[in-house]
Structure formats: structure tokens, C-alpha cells
Homo-oligomer: A and B are copies of this chain.
Amino acid sequence: MANIDLSHHLSAEARLRKPTAMKEIWRLASRKPNMVSLANGDPPNTLYPIKKVLFEIASPWGDDPVAAWKTEGSNTATQVISATRDGPSVLPVKKAMQYTNGAGHVETQKAVSELAHAYHHPPNHVITLTLGNGDAVTKCFRLFGNPGDHFLADEFTFSALVQAAIPQGIKWVPVRMDDGGMLPEQLEKIMVNWDATRGPRPHVLYTIPCGQNPTGSTLSVERRRKIYELAQRFDLIIIEDDPYYFLQFPSNSAADTTFTPSFLSMDVDERVVRVDSFSKVIAPGTRLGWITSSAQFHEQLVALTDASSQHPHAFGQMFLSELLGPEGWQLPGFDKWVRGLGMEYKRRCDFFLDLFAKEVATTGLAEAIAPEAGMFVWTRIHISKHPRYRKSIASSEEVKVPRTNCKQLMEELFDTCLDEGLVVMPASIFKVDSDAQYGDPEDNIEDRLNYFRLTYCGTEEIMTTGLSTLGRALKRFFAD
């Protein structure tokens, strides 16, 4: 257990949650060996109509396995992993498909735990299987959020999850970012200057540290250390949502990636709840990821899972157990594959940035902020160059409203792109709204919406057409 008791962070709902009464019966039942049970209402596994589940997967062992897989597709070497009814499999069908508790099968937990430890060496944490990061992060919101609580987030972030917390009564406090992500000094400013009339001071920080969605920024180790120190000083829980961790770029064309140390890896207090995903490594439909947290928060997460989504699906647990097992990739193969993915995303990103330099930057109207991980290029539009750009539109009485027409012009530019046949993601989609009366009058986020989130996930053809369209749309709009 942690040296520090962090149980005061738990929500009222989490505190009220009790283990199911049936568990007590199982505990009593295990006090003697060879008990006969007429108690458990599980379908007999002899009636499961499944004899075998087999997956044919890519081989991670070539020189550049992801490039080979992508290019040659079905002609590349594959390997077969499978779970059979009675085994020998890491997780035989008849075991995998039973009821378990919210933590899932120990075999899958063990495999995923070894993977987490290999990358993060967390001091004293345990694994909880999840149904992917949406499930995981919203469960954390239920675990820590009371109505009226304030949570901190990157000022631009994955809005679907931030919005998910609002009906629960959580209020968001955006933290100012620059091209390197969240600014520790801005976080400190918010905490030091917190006005108690707003309600309780924020006690949870939600952040995406690598290849952030939407800005593509990756927090440096120095910033992470500063933010962690602030979390210690102000008693914050950090929800580290890191789906792009394994998509960090190598520094050159070889698979030489140095993975940036996670918040989890520096978490001596057990105040980090780290959320990991296979969605970008395997595929989004996997819907199986994991949380790494203190044992106490793990127990709470399992109780919440028992009381909602129940245990993770067996198909995914069989897949992961075999993928990371002796017939599958194991850890070295997994590492080969994710480093290959890093190379692939870097190649895509380089292709995108080269095109951007030719097709867009040459207009002088926009600039791409090069990422070090993930899928996104945060693209700054030089909106102040627009002939209709206006500053200080607000009267001095209305200091908390925007001071420019940035928002309106960006909406027009978005429409111009659509007219030209191009869809982009406007920054406005990702902004975290703070309580209007507490906004910084000198720094209204609506004056800084001059960004598009662009992606290099598409084909080269899409990138080529897309970026030349963007150049054309910019020129047309700014000529207005």
C-alpha cells in the first residue's frame, strides 16, 4: 500500500459501493476443501457451443514487420494463435467463457501486467483490465467525481470524454498549453489562486501526455516531473490517458525509439491512475485495455466494473493471452511490432509534413507543429493576416468575452474547406469550457481557436489531395 492515504479522493458513490453479498458466500464456502456446491448459477461449460477460437495474425519478426504487413498484406508471413475448449492454451475456451469478477481472468491480467511492468516499472501498482480508454477514463470519473467537483484538463483535449463527465456534475478547469503541451506554471497558477467561492479546489488532473489529442504534443520529462511535483504539493490525482504511448517516433529510420518516462513510472505516492489501450496497437475494435493504479483504486475499479459492465469479454482475453503467450508474439514480439508502428507513423508524418511544406506553408498562412508521437498535426492558421481580422472587439466593460473575431473567421475557413471538398477538425471541437466568470480576460480561448487538427492516418492519396485542397482553401479565404 502507498505511504500516503488517498482514499479521500473517492467519490460519494464509490464509498457507498459494497462488494456483492454473494462474494461473502464464496468466501465462507472456501473455508473447507472439497465443498460441494448447489449454489452457483453458471451454465455448465460442456454446453458452450464453441470448440476453438483461432486468430491468424501478422508475424512481428521481420526487419520492418509493419511495413511488410501493410504493403504485402495477405502474402506476408503470418502466425496462428488459438484457444481450444480444453487447452493446452493459456486460457482454454471452457475457462475463458465462464463468469469471472470485474478484474477478468488472472491469465490475462498476468500477461498485461508483465507488459505494463516492462515499459513503466511502476513502483507498487496493479492492473485492472478495461474495455478500452473510453470505459476506463469514464470509470475513473465515477470513482473520483462528486457533483460540483472541479477537474483539470489540457485546454484542448479529447472532448468526447470531457463531455461525458459533465452530466455527472463535474466542472472542467482548462490548463493553458503551448506547443509542448500543458504548462506546469499555468497549472500552479490555477491551484495557488483558486477562489474558494467557486467550490472545492480541483483534485483530479486528466491529461494525455503523448501525441496529445488534438494538439499532437508530447510532454517533456521535465514538464512531467514539474507536473508530478505540483500534484504532490496540491494533492492531485493524475489520470494519465496514454493511448498513443506506443506510437512514439524513433529518432531516425531505425526502430530506436526511446519511450518517454510516463507519470506512472515516477509515481511514488500512487496518485497516478494510468490508462492504456490496444486500440492503436492492435485495432480499435479490440475494446480491451488496462488501468495501472494503486491496489486501493484497483479494488474500487473492480467493484464498479462488477456493478456495471461486468468482466471483460472472453474473446479479447483469449486473444491477448495467446498473443502475449508462448505461441504468440510474447513481449519481444510485441515490442518489435510497436517499434515498427512508431516507424510507420513517423514515415506517414514525414510524408505529411513534406507535403505541408510545399502545399500549405508556402502560402504563408499556416504552419504545422511537428509531433513526436501519435496521429495528429496541430496546424496553426495565421488568422491575424486575414483582412477582416479584428482585435479588441469587446468593450472594456466586457473583459471576459473574446477580444477578437478569431472564432468567427475560423468557422468561415472551416466552411470554405468544406466547400472545396475537405473535412478538417476545428479547434473549437476540442476546447474545454471553463466557468465563464472565471475565465482569464487577457487570454480568452476563443481568441486562440486558430488551429485545425489534421491527421496522417489516411492514404498518401488522401494526404496529397487533402493538403493541396487546404492550400487552395486558405488562399481563397484570405484573399476575401
Q: Is the CB of B131 within 8 A of A38?
A: no
CB < 8 Å neighbour of A168 from B13, B50, B465, B470? B13
Q: Is the CB of A310 within 8 A of B131?
A: yes
CB < 8 Å neighbour of A454 from B38, B286, B315? B38
The chain B residue sitting closest to A467, CB to CB, is B38
Given the interface pairs A135-B308, A429-B21, the reply to whether A44 lies near B421 with Cβ below 8 Å is no
| A176 → B minimal CB distance (Å) | 21
Q: Is the CB of A314 within 8 A of B283?
A: yes
Q: How large is the interface on A (under 10, 10 to 19, 20 to 34, 35 or more residues)?
A: 35 or more
A287 close to B (CB within 8 Å): yes
A284 close to B (CB within 8 Å): yes
A66 close to B (CB within 8 Å): yes
CB < 8 Å neighbour of A56 from B51, B98, B279, B418? B51
A234 close to B (CB within 8 Å): no
The chain B residue sitting closest to A11, CB to CB, is B167
The chain B residue sitting closest to A415, CB to CB, is B28
**Stretch in A68-76, A194-202, A252-260, A435-443 touching the partner:** A68-76
| A322 → B minimal CB distance (Å) | 12
A160 close to B (CB within 8 Å): yes
Q: How far is the CA of A36 from the CA of B359 in the complex (A)?
A: 16
Q: Is the CB of B38 within 8 A of A310?
A: no
Q: Is the CB of B308 within 8 A of A29?
A: no
Q: How far is the CA of A314 from the CA of B39 in the complex (A)?
A: 33
The chain B residue sitting closest to A24, CB to CB, is B429
Interface string of A458-475 (1 = CB under 8 A from B): 110011011101100000
A96 close to B (CB within 8 Å): yes
Q: Is the CB of A20 within 8 A of B160?
A: yes
- In the bound complex, residues from chain B placing their C-beta under 8 Å from that of A390 are none
Q: Is the CB of B96 within 8 A of A85?
A: no
Interface string of A184-199 (1 = CB under 8 A from B): 0000000000000000
A312 close to B (CB within 8 Å): yes
The chain B residue sitting closest to A43, CB to CB, is B280
**Residues of A bordering B, CB below 8 Å:** 12-18, 20-22, 25, 28-29, 31-32, 34-58, 60, 66, 69-70, 73-74, 78, 85, 96-99, 131-132, 134-135, 138-139, 159-160, 163-164, 166-168, 213, 279-280, 282-288, 306-317, 319, 337, 341, 344, 375-376, 418, 421-426, 428-429, 452-455, 457-459, 462-463, 465-467, 469-470
Contacts A/B (CB < 8 Å), 6 sampled: A22-B425, A36-B423, A39-B455, A43-B375, A54-B56, A97-B285
4 nearest A-B pairs in the assembled complex, by CB-CB distance: A285-B314, A315-B315, A97-B285, A97-B283
